Amino acid sequence: MHGCFPSISGAPDVVTVDHALWYVVAMFWAYFDESGLHAPQVNGGGLRKLTVAGCIADEEAWNQLSVDWSAALSMWGLPVFHMVDFENRVAPYNKWTPAERKERLNILLEIIGRTKAHCCGFTNIVRSDDNTAKVYERCVYDTFLELSMNWDEKFSIVFAHHPEYGKQEHLYTEMLAHGLRDQAMSCTIGHPINVVPLQAADIVAYEICKDERMGDEREKLTPRRYPLERLFALGCSFRLSSAVE
């Protein structure tokens, strides 16, 4: 059985009744999305690596982000912000001038920065016997392990809906049975259009995935991309993990 809750605070679309009380009193929420790096089309265009990344911050910070973010998107006539479409200049972003692109991205980065979120990302290489669900699950496993080992406060975690994987809560239950530290009070799935902080996680996941690309293909010789540098400057902290095999 499930209970529904309003999403203005960034809560997921649906929260299990078992966790309903925690929803009321939760202090920290973690939001995660994924981003992939694909081979060039001449080499088949297949997925090469996948990153699951996002942010954890207190509920008050997410509440304010949701209000500010929604107001900004309303001014721009957007129902939702998606970083890969922005970067690829897919409609409606193709109509934004260079000045508008710079200003609007900076506004969103500043909104994220005001949360002072701890951002983390987990990247896994696609193996020869992998499908998307398998590599995604390894990233989710790393996410649970990292937060449970290194985050001292209890928290609730929300993953963006993925069409090929929906077993996050089952995986977490299995990990608990094998001795994982029980830090997450609930694990749910939401859609970014309804759960505003997932749109912030989308930017972070995209940028961490791109930063991983620069690190492994250019041997750290290329400066970090601007959005990550800006989030650092605004007070966000980062912890990244990358599996090479």
Whether 21 shows a pLDDT value over 80: the answer reads no
Beta bridge partners of 124: 50, 243
Would you say 227 and 207 are in contact if contact means Cβ atoms under 8 Å apart?
yes
Instruction: Express each pLDDT in 131-163 by its tens digit.
Output: 999 999 999 999 999 999 888 889 999 999 999
Give the pTM: 0.85
Residues 164-177: what's their mean pLDDT? Answer: 92
Tracing tokens 């193996």 back to the chain, one arrives at: 127
Would you say 198 and 80 are in contact if contact means Cβ atoms under 8 Å apart?
no
Tracing tokens 């996948």 back to the chain, one arrives at: 50
3-state class (DSSP) for residue 101 = helix
Tokens of 99: 């000045």
Residues 68-84: what's their mean pLDDT? Answer: 98
Among 6, 50, 62, 18, residue whose Cα is nearest residue 169: 18
Note the Cα 206 to chain centre separation in Å. Answer: 8
Would you say 137 and 168 are in contact if contact means Cβ atoms under 8 Å apart?
no
List the domains of the chain with CATH numbers. 2-243 (3.30.420)
Beta bridge partners of 71: none
Q: Which residue has the higher pLDDT, 1 or 116?
A: 116
Question: Mean pLDDT highest for which of 77-91, 171-185, 203-217?
Answer: 77-91
